[in-house]
A and B are shown apart, each in its own frame.
Chain A
Amino acid sequence: MQQEAAVHTGIQSTREPGALARWWKEIRHNRWAYVFISPFYILFAIFGLFPVGYSLYLSLHDWNGVRPMEYVGLENYRYVFSERGDLFWTSVQNSAIIFLLYVPLMTFLALVLAVLLNSGYIKGFRFFRTTMFMPYVTSMIAAGFVFQIMLGSHEGMVNTVLSDLGLPTVGWLDTIWGTRVSLAILVTWAWLGYNMIIMLAGLQTISQDLTEAARVDGANNVQAFFHITIPLLRPVILFSLVLSTSGTFNLFNEVVSIAAPDGFKGGTRYSILTPMILIYNTGFRHFEFGRASAEAYVYFVLIAALTFFQFRYLGNRDK
C-alpha cells in the first residue's frame, strides 16, 4: 500500500518522505558496514582514483618534475603515435610475440596436466603438484638471474650440454629471438603450476558423471577431453588467458633480471622491452612525466580492449 502511494505521488517528489526516512534508517542501521568497507575507498581515492585522473591531466602536459608544468594539448599522444614514439609500439609488439610464444602452449599443457592429475592416472599426485607449483612462490628477480646463468651464451650450462650432445648452441641471451624464447621459457616455468592449480580446481567442480556418460556413449578419453572437459572449463580457461594477457604486458621483474645488466634497456635491441618497462623508463629514468602518462593511457586502452575482446569471443557463447 505504501509503495503504491509512493508511486502515485511521484510527480511532486521522486521519493516520498517515508521512503527517504526508511532509506536513511537502513543506512543508519548498517552504519558499521560503511565503516568496515571505508578504508578501501579512502585509500583508493588517494592512491588510485586521484592518480588515474592526475595521469590524464599530466598526459596533456610537458613536465619533468622540476620545471613548471606546461600545457601541450595532445602533443604527448601525437608523439606516441609518431615515428619517434615507435619504441612504445615495439614494446606492445614484443608483448604480443612473447604472449604467442608461451601462452597457447602453457595453457594447453596446464590443462593436460590438470586432467592427468585429476584422473588418478598418475601416481605421485602430491609430488607433481608441489614441484610444478614451487616456481610460483619464487622471487622472479632471483629466477631471472638463475636463468641467465644457465642460458649464458658461452659457458652457460645449457649451451655446454647442447654442444656436448653435438647440437648447435643457441644465442639465448644475445639475439633477438633468443631473448624472447628465453623469457618465454622463464615465464612458462613460473606460471605453469599456477595455471595447472586453477584448472585442477575447475575440474573438481565438474561432475564426473558427464565424462562417464560420454564414455558410455563410446567416446574415448581424448574425445571426452576435447568435447566435454574443455567446453565445461571454458570460464576457467578464459580467466587464465585474461591473467596471462595482462601478465605478459606487465612483465617487469622477469625482464630486468634475465637481461641484466641491460634489462631496463629491454634486452637485445629492445627485443623484450615491455610496455611496463618502457613507461617506467620514460617516467623514472628520463623524467618525462607527461609522455609517460600518455603512454600509460594508450596502454590502458589497449589492455581494456584486449580484455573486452577476450570476454566477447571466448566467454560463454551459450548464454
Chain B
Amino acid sequence: MATTLPRIGLRVLVHLLLIVLALFMLLPFIWMLSTSFKPIAEVFHTPPILISSHATMDGYHNIFNRGADTAFTNTAILATSTTLTSLFFCTLGGYGFAKFRFPGRGMLFAFLLATMLIPPAVTIIPKYRIIVELGWIDSFLAIIIPNAASAFGIFFMRQYISSFPEELLDAARIDGCTEFGVFRRIVVPTIAPGMISLGLIFFMSNWNNYLEPLIYLKSPGKFTLTQLMMSFQSPNGESPFRDIMAVGVISVIPLIILFFVFQRRFVEGITQGAVKA
C-alpha cells in the first residue's frame, strides 16, 4: 500500500520523459514549417519566433519561381516509376523463390543475400561509367533500371509469399492458367498488402534519394527536390534558409500523409524484413 504513491509518481515521471522525447522528435518538423512562413529577418532572431506575426508566403513564391514545381514533378515521376518497376520484379522474383523447388535454388538465394553486403561505395564509379556508356546521364533510366530488382525486395516478398497455400496455385494451373497467369491473377491480388508494405519502403527511399540524382541528373530541369534544396545554398555567405525550408515542407508532406494513411503497412514493411532476417 505504501508503495502506491511512489509508483504513480514514477509512472507520471516516465510519461513526462516520453513527452519530452516526443517533443524533441516533433520540434524539427514544427521548426521547418514555422521557418518556411517567416520573413527573412525572423529566421534567425533573438528570441526565437515560433509563429511569426508577419507570416508570409514569399518563400513559397520564391521556390516556385526557382523550379520547385518541376522538381516536385520529377521527384514524383522518378519515385513512382522506380517503385512500381522494382515492386513488379521483386514480387515476381520472390514468388519464384517461394513457390518453386528448382535445382540451384539454395545457392542462388544465398548469392542473392550475399549481394546485400556489398557497400555502394565499391560500385558507384564503374556504375557511373556504365551509365555514361548507355547514354543515360540526365535520364531517369539511370536510376529506374539499376534499381529495378533489389535483393532486399526479393527476400522480403519471398518471406511474404512462403505462407501462400499451394493448393490455390495448383488449382489455377489445372484450370489452364499459364505460370505468369497464376502469378498475375492468383498471387498478386492475395499478397497485395505485402506489396503495399514493400512499395511504401521503396517509395520513401526513392523519394528521398539524393546520391543517385546527384551523380546522374546533371541539368537543373531534371533536378529532384533533394537536389533543389542543395542547389539553393550559396557557397559563401548566407544560404536562403527560409526558401530551403519551404522546399523541405513540400518534400516532407507527401510522405507524412502516406505514412499516416498506411501506418500499419509501413510498420509491417519495416519489421517483416528485420525480425525474420
Where the two chains meet, the residues of A that have a C-beta atom closer than 8 Å to any C-beta of B are: 23, 26-27, 30, 32-37, 39-41, 43-44, 46-48, 50-52, 54-55, 58, 65, 113, 116, 121-123, 127-135, 137-143, 145-150, 152, 154-157, 160-161, 164, 189, 192-194, 197-198, 200-202, 205, 236, 239, 246, 249-250, 252-253, 256-257, 260-261, 275-276, 279-280, 283-284, 289, 292-293, 295-297, 299-300, 303-304, 307
Contact = CB atoms under 8 A, between A and B. Distances in A.
Contacts, number: 274
Interface string B68-96: 00000000000000000000010011011
B125 A296 contact: yes
Interface in B212-270: 215, 225-226, 229-230, 233-236, 239, 241, 244-245, 247-248, 251-252, 255-256, 258-260, 263, 266-267, 270
Contact of A39 (B93, B99, B258, B275): B93
B154 interface: yes
B275 A149 contact: no
Task: Tell me the interface secondary structure of chain A in the complex.
Answer: helix
Interface-centre pick from B31, B119, B154, B183 (highest chain A CB count, 10 A): B119
B259 A36 contact: no
A58 B15 CA distance: 56
A166 B48 CA distance: 16
Contacts of A35: 96
Interface string B21-48: 1101111110110010000000111111
17 contacts: A26-B103, A34-B96, A35-B96, A47-B145, A50-B126, A121-B14, A129-B267, A137-B204, A139-B208, A139-B252, A141-B248, A146-B28, A148-B241, A189-B25, A198-B270, A250-B121, A295-B121
Contacts of A141: 208, 210, 226, 229-230, 248, 251
Nearest to A139: B208
B151 interface: yes
Contacts of A122: 14-15, 18
Given A40-B154, A134-B25, A146 B248 contact: yes
Contacts of A36: 92-93, 95-96, 100, 183
Nearest to A138: B252
Contacts of B14: 116, 121-122
Given A47-B146, A121-B11, A292 B125 contact: yes
Contacts of B226: 139, 141-142, 253
B127 A157 contact: no
B275 A201 contact: yes
B119 A303 contact: yes
Contact of A131 (B22, B149, B244, B274): B22
A239 B272 CA distance: 13
Given A142-B252, A152-B44, A137 B101 contact: no
A32 B93 CA distance: 10
Contacts of A304: 117
Contacts of B115: 44, 48
Interface in B111-154: 112, 115, 117-130, 145-146, 148-151, 154
